[in-house]
Amino acid sequence: MAELSAESGVPVATIKYYLREGLLPAGERTSPNQARYDEGHVRRLKLIRALVEVGGLSVATVREVVAAVDSDEPAYHVLGVAQRALTGFAADVPEDEREWAMETLSALARKHGWKFGPDNPVAPSLVGTMCTIRALGHEALLDQLGRYAEIADRIAEADLDTIDASVPMDRIVEAAVVGTVLGDRLFEGLRRLAQAAETARRYPDGR
């Protein structure tokens, strides 16, 4: 375990915690107080750390995600499970509010060729976010939904190109998880820098 810690850069106490929490599979026991860990363990440790520390996911969410990655289910099923775990839960909103948001979203989806079934976790989460924004009186954000949707189509093309390019089949689910979690963080950061620049352009007097 000391070697695993040195190799992965993760402290021993943290490794023990991940083992206890079922995020990391146990090593192969070679003696009462020794176990063998392999490249797979190092890789998994780096993934867990990235999802927790950079992605900001909870340990419980990471547990669900790695269980899905490790399962023998077909890739599209695993991706569904992972996406469900990664999607924020739906806010509790009044029925008529929900109806308005669902209609708005459905119209947008028709226009852009997006499909979502009743099982899709993204739609309820989006509906909750839209209702919350409206309840806070920031409708101006929702006025831009059409532009945001067009931009979403463009970024999804770039996202899919990252999968096409180089990922071997047996790592496609992991790549999709990393792409989703760290891809969100990456784009958030770029968006902040671009917002600051656009703010400076519009308000050069520093308002």
User: Closest CB to its own copies among 9 and 34?
Assistant: 9
Q: Which of residues 144-203 bind its own copies (CB under 8 A)?
A: 144-145, 147-149, 151-167, 175, 178-180, 182-200, 202
Q: Which of residues 61-90 bind its own copies (CB under 8 A)?
A: 75-76, 83, 87-88
- Interhelix angle for 59-70 vs 39-49, to 10°? 140
Binding pattern to its own copies, positions 113-142, x when CB under 8 A? xxxx---x-xx-xx-xxx-xx-xx-xxxx-
Q: How far, in Å, CA of 201 to CA of 182, rounded?
A: 29
User: Closest CB to its own copies among 2 and 140?
Assistant: 140
Q: What share of the chain is helix, strand, coil (3-state, %, to 5)?
A: 70, 5, 25
The 10 Å Cβ neighbour count of residue 127 is 23
Q: Which of residues 1-20 bind its own copies (CB under 8 A)?
A: 9
Binding pattern to its own copies, positions 21-60, x when CB under 8 A? -------------------------xx--x--xx-x----
Q: How far, in Å, CA of 205 to CA of 50, rounded?
A: 40
For position 111 contacting its own copies by CB under 8 A, the verdict is no
Structural contact between residues 69 and 82, judged by C-beta atoms closer than 8 angstroms: yes
